[in-house]
Structure 1
Amino acid sequence: MNVIPISASAGIIGFESPAAEYSQLAFDLDELLIEHPSSTFIGRACGDSMQGVGIFDGDLLIVDRHVTVSNHDVIVANLNGEFVCKLLDTQRRLLVSANESIQPVQINDFDTFSIEGVVIRSIRCHRPSHLLSFN
């Protein structure tokens, strides 16, 4: 993969020529984004409840089932048959949104709850791709 070392800030007027200099990296995007290929899946975020941690509606979530869950990790879980993406408060047994307008959800003993994996990366696509049409 070729990487062009350009720092782009929002207020710039022009770019130095990308052909001026580039570096060859010794890895590909799979290696960068996925740590445990056999235990990783990709999902799509829905809604605005995780915007506070930079996950927006339609973003791709790279979810690793191999990673040990820690307090305040962003996780994908199955709560009573519904997949959710939330911050996990292990000490208070809460699923917490990263949007202050959404109240935390208590995980009760009578709930059907399973952690599907830890969100280790998220990807925002700025243009649609035919490869991502989840129907």
Structure 2
Amino acid sequence: MPVNKTSKLTFYFPDFESELRIPFINEGVSAGFPSPAADFMEMSIDLNKQLSENPLATFYIKVKGNSMIDAGIDDKDVLVVDRSLEPQNNKIAICFIDGEFTVKRMKVEKDCLYLMPENSDYPPIKVTEENELIIWGIVTYVIKKL
């Protein structure tokens, strides 16, 4: 269910009441040589719970644009974001800067913060005292359609 629509981004909260269990093969699938099917034991998984280490601080957001394609984040991907994690150098964050939401990699230099795109078509954003910046959360997973 959508929570807030601002700057063309839609926020969603995980539904921890859903109990939607999806079949899950815990052993993984071989990306090299095939593995016998008998080695796989089927279980079930609830992605709302699996992707949320801190459920009360987790939300989903759909990406609009391509400024982060070199980080594997494409237009229409869904990001899992944890608001309880501390912003750190080199982490990918959901930022609210000057009234606009954006997803960028944080680059911390001495007395300076840059919001770095992962696409050479976009310039870095240097955060100064004149900017209003709120780090909404740190991206922990990317969900994409192939």
- Superposed CA offset, 1:53-96 (max 9, x none): 10000000111000111101000010111000000112231110
The two structures, once aligned, show a CA RMSD in angstroms of 2.3
Q: Any conservation in 2 of the 1:5–1:23 contact (CA below 8 Å)? A: no
2:141 to 114, 117, 121: 121
| Alignment partner, residue 48 of structure 1 | 66
Q: Distance in 1 between matches of 2:40 and 2:46?
A: 16
TM-score (norm 2): 0.72
Task: Give the TM-score normalised by structure 1.
Answer: 0.77
Indicate the residue corresponding to 2:85 in structure 1: 67
Structure-2 separation of matches of 1:29 and 1:85? 22
**TM-superposed deviation, 1:22:** 2.2
Q: How many equivalent pairs are there? A: 121
Stretches (4+) displaced over 3 A: 15-18, 24-28
Runs of 5+ unmatched residues, structure 2: 1-22
Identity in percent: 28
Q: Which secondary structure does the structure 2 equivalent of 1:110 belong to?
A: coil
Aligned residues of 1:5 and 1:21 also touching (Cα < 8 A): no
Question: Partner of 1:102 in structure 2?
Answer: 122
Q: How has the CA–CA distance of structure 1 residues 125 and 80 changed in structure 2, closer, same or farther, with 3 Å as cutoff?
A: same
Decide whether aligned partners of structure 1 residues 57 and 109 sit closer, same or farther in structure 2, where only a CA change above 3 A counts.
same
Contact 1:80–1:111 (CA under 8 A) maintained in structure 2: yes
Say whether the 8 Å CA contact 1:34–1:40 is kept in structure 2: yes
The 2-side partners of 1:64 and 1:89 are apart by 19
1:35 counterpart (42, 53, 56) = 53
Q: Could you say what secondary structure the match of 1:90 adopts? A: strand
Comparing 99-108 and 56-65, the one that deviates more? 99-108
